[in-house]
């Protein structure tokens, strides 16, 4: 079973370009499941049943909250989906098992003034060698809402800066591609970066100083660094906060939620509803804008 786990983790690293941090999280969760499974006296993954998985989740409920159990189930589902796709198993034992109901969390996002502060901070803090690249990364995350994995996987042939169809094509969850339009401002920043980008063998849009694909871990670190340098005091600010910022900005500007779902690449509309948040100030402004009695 350990060999199959390593095979799956290798697939995530090479084929899916998952970050080392994410892969270690998968390794930790799946090792817990394998240890539990082996404690039942089973060593062949082909003998795993739906009841075994439910038994595991029930046992974890004694020490793990709903969020942690949902994450573990997601890792298990990903493993068995891979094994099924590779023809290693004939039936998927986790199909139909629903994740624990999660409490809704208010996403961390930046206001318009705050994300302008972030852009100013990048211009101020970045070294001359990296400023064009780092500014392009931050503005692209803010202006398209793409995921970290989608950004690092973006290749030059998926970037269209021609006037007639300015857009990027990203490969999201479920290996599905979607096209996201680019604003004139974004196009200008990307064009400036491409002028400074070294002519190297790698076809990836964002590259390291050595000319290799920029990994997710590096992007996570540099965005975190710039967010910290802004001095903005908000909990759990990271790369995903920029995705929240994009979605929230669209909703606050009256964009149809179905269009937001398409742009963000959400499979279910419920995810978009939970993901987008209108704070009390936005609600107050909306109510105050109503004119009930025109005199």
Question: Could you read off the pLDDT of 203-254 as tens digits, one per residue?
Answer: 999 999 889 999 988 999 999 999 999 999 888 889 999 998 998 888 888 8
Q: Are residues 264 and 135 part of one domain?
A: yes
Q: Are residues 222 and 129 part of one domain?
A: yes
Measured distance between the N- and C-terminal CA atoms of the chain, rounded to whole angstroms? 76
- In a domain? residue 159: yes
pTM over 0.85: no
Q: Which long-range contacts (CB under 8 A, 24 or more apart) does 82-91 make?
A: 82/8, 82/11, 83/4, 83/8, 83/45, 88/4, 88/45, 89/45, 89/46, 90/46
Overall size of the chain counted in residues: 295
Q: Are residues 143 and 193 part of one domain?
A: yes
- In a domain? residue 178: yes
Write the CB contacts of 89 (distance below 8 Å, at least 6 apart in sequence): 45, 46, 80, 83
Q: What is the pLDDT of residues 131-187, one digit of tens each?
A: 999 999 999 999 999 999 999 999 999 999 987 789 999 988 777 889 999 999 999
Q: Are residues 129 and 32 part of one domain?
A: no
Q: Are residues 130 and 59 part of one domain?
A: no
pLDDT above 60 (res 295): no
Region of 68 please: left (phi>0), alpha (psi -120 to 50) or beta.
Answer: alpha
Write the CB contacts of 22 (distance below 8 Å, at least 6 apart in sequence): 12, 216
Last residue of a domain, one of 67, 85, 103: 85
Q: Phi/psi of residue 253, each to 5°?
A: -95, 10
Element at 179 (helix H, strand E): strand 177-181
Q: Are residues 79 and 132 part of one domain?
A: no
Instruction: Output the CA angle 117-122-126, nearest 5 degrees.
Output: 155
pLDDT above 50 (res 283): no
- In a domain? residue 104: no
Contact between 11 and 88 (Cβ < 8 Å): no
The pLDDT, as a whole number, for residue 52 is 86
Write the CB contacts of 188 (distance below 8 Å, at least 6 apart in sequence): none
Catalytic residue IDs = 147, 173, 240, 243, 266, 275
Identify the domain containing residue 21 by its residue range: 2-85
């Amino acid at each position: 079973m350990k060999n199959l786990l390593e095979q799956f983790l290798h697939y995530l690293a090479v084929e899916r370009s998952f970050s080392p941090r994410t892969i270690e999280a998968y390794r930790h969760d799946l090792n817990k499941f394998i240890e539990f499974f082996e404690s039942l006296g089973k060593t062949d993954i082909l003998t795993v049943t739906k009841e075994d998985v439910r038994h595991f989740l029930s046992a974890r409920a004694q020490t793990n909250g709903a969020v942690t159990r949902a994450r573990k189930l997601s890792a298990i589902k990903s493993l068995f989906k891979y094994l099924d796709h590779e023809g290693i198993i004939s039936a998927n034992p986790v199909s139909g098992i629903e994740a624990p109901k999660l409490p809704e969390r208010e996403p961390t996002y930046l206001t318009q003034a705050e994300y302008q502060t972030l852009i100013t901070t990048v211009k101020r803090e970045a070294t001359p060698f990296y400023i064009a690249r780092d500014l392009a990364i931050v503005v692209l995350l803010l202006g398209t809402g793409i995921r970290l994995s989608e950004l690092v996987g973006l290749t030059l042939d998926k970037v269209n800066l021609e006037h007639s169809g300015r857009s990027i094509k990203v490969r999201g969850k479920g290996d599905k591609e979607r096209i996201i339009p680019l604003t004139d401002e974004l196009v200008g920043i990307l064009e400036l970066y491409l002028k400074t980008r070294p002519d190297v063998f790698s076809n990836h849009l964002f590259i390291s100083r050595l000319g290799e694909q920029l990994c997710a871990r590096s992007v996570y670190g540099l965005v975190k660094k710039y967010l910290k340098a802004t001095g903005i005091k908000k909990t759990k600010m990271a790369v995903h906060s920029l995705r929240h910022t994009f979605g929230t900005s669209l909703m606050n500007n009256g964009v149809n939620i179905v269009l937001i779902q398409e742009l963000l690449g959400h499979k279910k509309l419920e995810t978009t509803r939970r993901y987008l948040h209108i704070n009390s100030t936005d609600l107050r402004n909306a109510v105050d804008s109503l004119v009930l009695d025109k005199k």
